[in-house]
Structure 1
Amino acid sequence: MPKQIRLNAFEMNCVAHQSPGLWQHPRDRSKDYARLDYWVELAQTLERGKFDGLFLADVLGVYDVFGGTADAALKHAIQVPVNDPLLLVPAMAQATRNLGFGVTVTLSYEPPFPFARRMTTLDHLTQGRIGWNVVTGYLDSAARSMGRDKQKAHDERYAVAEDYMDVVYQLWEGSWADDAVLRDRKGGVFTDPRRVRRISHRGPHYRLDAMHLGEPSPQRTPVLYQAGSSPAGRAFAARHAECVFISGPSKQVIAPRVAAIRKLAAEAGRDPQSLLIFALMTVITAPNHADAQAKLADYRRYANPEGALALMSGWTGVDFSRLDPNQIVQHVESEAGRTALENITRADPQRAWTVSEVASHVAIGGIGPVIVGSPDHVADELESWIDETDIDGFNLAFAVRPETFSDVVDLVVPVLQKRGRYKRDYAPGTLREKLFRQGQARLGPEHPAARYRWRAQEKLQA
């Protein structure tokens, strides 16, 4: 039976996310990014389209690799100004009933104890619809903002992340027993102290001696997203992630990456098909193919090549301002993200990208592919990506907001539903239950977090 296609909206609490310059388009509402009503309306649109979730990216630094300054990023609003993604969630959750929310939080700069409480709070307030995109960061500017000279080496960041996950798993899964909260009005006991325990952790990077401050939330641990595609990132995803976000310019590039992640999951003792893998994609559609092509041409009038190169410089750690526009881009190892540059220099051995071609490619949709055409054509393409790469769905970036998402909801979703490839309604329950199966509100027993849980046979603490 063909896979059902899953969709997330890929957004960010900023002006220009993946398509630099498009904020200038007359129909674009990016100027409203700091208005709560914009986000509430977007959430309602996505829920009308039965999107699985709103996936919110974030960075804690500025893109200052291009030219050695943040001037280009500031001038073109390249992910700056940027506001906190978590603060948007309660209002959007109040205005919806089923939409999930995947929020990006960089663990390198968040102490695990208060972060664990923040996510428990959001899980309560959303009634179990929160997810966490686990990232380690890639900008030296973020490290400097936190009092460090530079960020840790790429693979070392993932070693730190392993220790961090051990801490938050113990807090979420192991500090409070399921039956700790009594709410016994007659007896005057809200929580049984014997069913709450302190977590004592002494790891290579974190130390903790505390009990979790929040009572068990619907999911306990939020749904775990992970967006690293480097070897270290894939290994981390195979151990921890439930949903994996990957990017690549073609099906030929994506398919082996999907296979590698699933193979690593199997080696980690997990069902490789239990991971949901989402690929970055931008869809530009209209009622017919000619109108869609005209829309793309209209969008390209506003695309900003300098902004695109500033974005790419931040992702890769390579200063594209120093390169001639006609120069072929070569691979350079850096401590920033690895995949963005590999998508250009190593993904297709038959193609060599010039700097100007990179700028044109990134200017609409970032480093992901762009599908342009009628709703039937777009549906054909989405189905072929699912069937030929073994991904499970897409993180859809916007070109013009919220037009890109509204077009998908109004034009493409009905076609996919008619073909039987897309749900007509949400499953009940928490985000984890909607994504996987009813009754699975919490992580399965094969997940590494499960080893920290209270067991039914455990005796009351003395």
Structure 2
Amino acid sequence: MTKPIRFNAFQMNSVSHQSPGLWTHPRDQGHRYTEPEYWTELAQLLERGRFDAIFLADVLGVYDVYQGNADAALRHAVQAPLNDPLALVPLMAQVTRHLGFGVTCALTYEHPYTFARRMSTLDHLTRGRIGWNIVTGYLDSAARNLGLDRQLSHDERYDLADEYMEVVYKLWEHSWEDGAVINAKQRGIYADPARIHPIRHEGRYYKVPGFHLSEPSPQRTPLLYQAGTSPRGTAFAARHAECTFVSGPSKKVVKQYVDALRAAVSAAGRDGDELKIYAQALIITAPTEAEACAKYEDYQRHIDIEAALALLSGWTGVDFSRYPLDATIEYMDSDAGRSALASFSQADPGRKWTVREAAQFIGLGGRGPVLVGSPAQVADQLQAWQDQTGIDGFNLAFAVAPDSMRDVVDLIVPELQRRGRYRHDYTDGTLRDQLFHHGPRLPANHAGRSATIRGQV
């Protein structure tokens, strides 16, 4: 049976996200990101399009690698200014019933005890529609703003992340037993202390002796997203992720990531096919091919090369202002985003990208493909990407807000539905129910269910 195509909307609580420069387009509404209505209208649009979730990216620093300062990022609104994504979730949840909310939080800079409560609160308020994109961070500027000289090394961030996950699993899954909440008004007892357990965690990075402050939420543990494709990131995803995001400029690159992820998940004792994998893409469409191509050419005129290089420099830790635009990108290891450069070079060695070509490419939709054409042509491309790479769906970036998402909802979704490749309605339940249909909680073979509390029988 052919699996359906799934969509997430890739967004950020900022003026601009993955298409630096396109905020200058006369139709773009990104400057309204501080208005509640901007987000509630978008959430309703996405629910009408039966999207799985709105996925909110985030960073805790600025893109200051390019030219050694943040001037280019600030001039061109390269993910700055940037507001907190978690605050948007209750707004959007109030005007939707089924749309999920994936939020990015860098565990390197969030204490697990307070973070666990924040996510439980959102899971309650959304009735089980919250997901967490687990990231370790990649900007030195974020580390400096939070009291560190620089961020931890790439692999040490994952060492910390492993312990962080152990702590939050203990809080979400094991601190409160099923049945701990009694809510017996006549007896005057709300919760049974005998069924609520301090987690007594003492590790290399964290010491958390107490019990979880929140009662169990609909999912207990939020749906777990992850986006790392380095060897250490893949191993982390194999143990923890239920959904992953990959970015690559070609089917070959994406298929390599997909195959490695599914193999790693299977090796970890889980079903590799159960992992939902979304590939980043940008769709530019219109009722006819000619109109779509004209729209694409219009958008290209708004690409800002300096803004794109500021973004790429932040992703990779490499200051691209030091290289001529016609210089060839070679793979350079760094403690920032290893997979960002690899996707242009090492993972696809048959092609040599120049700095200019990489900037132009990510200047419209980031590191994923740009799919241009009529609804039928784009549907053909989406099906080819899914069928040839093994992905489950797409994490859709936007060029112009909210036009890009409206075009997908009004033109692409109906075309895919006619082909039997896209759902017509949601099912009831939590975000995890929507995606996996095995109930609201983590499956029994997931690492989060096997975490143990010292001294607990």
Same fold judged by TM-score > 0.5?
yes
- TM superposition shift of 1:331: 1.4
| Aligned counterpart, 2:414 | 414
**Residues 289-308 of structure 1 aligned to structure 2 (within 5 Å):** 289-308=289-308
**Residues 43-58 of structure 1 aligned to structure 2 (within 5 Å):** 43-58=43-58
- TM superposition shift of 1:348: 2.2
For 1:197 and 1:343, the matched residues in 2 are separated by 45
Q: Percent identity?
A: 59
| Aligned counterpart, 1:83 | 83
**Residues 18-417 of structure 1 aligned to structure 2 (within 5 Å):** 18-417=18-417
**Counterpart of 1:361 in 2: which secondary structure?**
helix
Contact 1:432 1:440 (8 Å CA) reproduced? yes
Length-normalised TM-score, structure 1: 0.97
Give 1:303's aligned amino acid: I
Q: Which runs of 4+ in 1 moved over 6 A?
A: none
* Larger deviation, residues 224-233 vs 337-346: 337-346
For 1:349 and 1:163, the matched residues in 2 are separated by 36
1:133-160 CA distance string (max 9 Å, x none): 0000000000000110100110110111
Contact 1:65 1:318 (8 Å CA) reproduced? yes
* Larger deviation, residues 89-98 vs 250-259: 250-259
- TM superposition shift of 1:347: 2.8
Give 2:289's aligned amino acid: H
CA-based RMSD of the aligned residues comes to: 1.0
| Aligned counterpart, 2:450 | 451
1:212-245 CA distance string (max 9 Å, x none): 0000000000000001111110110010000001
For 1:383 and 1:330, the matched residues in 2 are separated by 32
1:43-90 CA distance string (max 9 Å, x none): 000000000000000000000000000000000000010000000000
For 1:308 and 1:372, the matched residues in 2 are separated by 21
For 2:309 and 2:361, the matched residues in 1 are separated by 10
For 1:85 and 1:315, the matched residues in 2 are separated by 20
* Larger deviation, residues 321-330 vs 102-111: 321-330
| Aligned counterpart, 1:10 | 10
Contact 1:3 1:386 (8 Å CA) reproduced? no
For 1:225 and 1:299, the matched residues in 2 are separated by 30
1:386-445 CA distance string (max 9 Å, x none): 1111110000000001100000000000000011110000011000000100x5100001
For 1:313 and 1:49, the matched residues in 2 are separated by 34
Matched residue count: 455
Give 2:21's aligned amino acid: G
For 2:258 and 2:359, the matched residues in 1 are separated by 27
- TM superposition shift of 1:453: 7.2
**Counterpart of 1:344 in 2: which secondary structure?**
coil
Give 1:188's aligned amino acid: G
Give 1:148's aligned amino acid: L
| Aligned counterpart, 1:440 | 439
- TM superposition shift of 1:101: 0.2
**Counterpart of 2:87 in 1: which secondary structure?**
helix
Contact 1:238 1:268 (8 Å CA) reproduced? yes
For 1:214 and 1:156, the matched residues in 2 are separated by 30
For 2:293 and 2:247, the matched residues in 1 are separated by 23
**Counterpart of 2:232 in 1: which secondary structure?**
helix
**Counterpart of 2:283 in 1: which secondary structure?**
strand
For 2:385 and 2:355, the matched residues in 1 are separated by 27
**Counterpart of 1:282 in 2: which secondary structure?**
strand
For 1:349 and 1:448, the matched residues in 2 are separated by 36
1:157-213 CA distance string (max 9 Å, x none): 011100000000000001101101111011010001111010111112111101100
Give 1:88's aligned amino acid: L
Length-normalised TM-score, structure 2: 0.98
**Counterpart of 2:432 in 1: which secondary structure?**
helix
- TM superposition shift of 1:253: 1.0
Unaligned runs of 5+ in 2: none
For 2:376 and 2:47, the matched residues in 1 are separated by 22
For 1:329 and 1:268, the matched residues in 2 are separated by 35
**Counterpart of 1:38 in 2: which secondary structure?**
helix
**Counterpart of 1:3 in 2: which secondary structure?**
coil
Contact 1:221 1:443 (8 Å CA) reproduced? yes
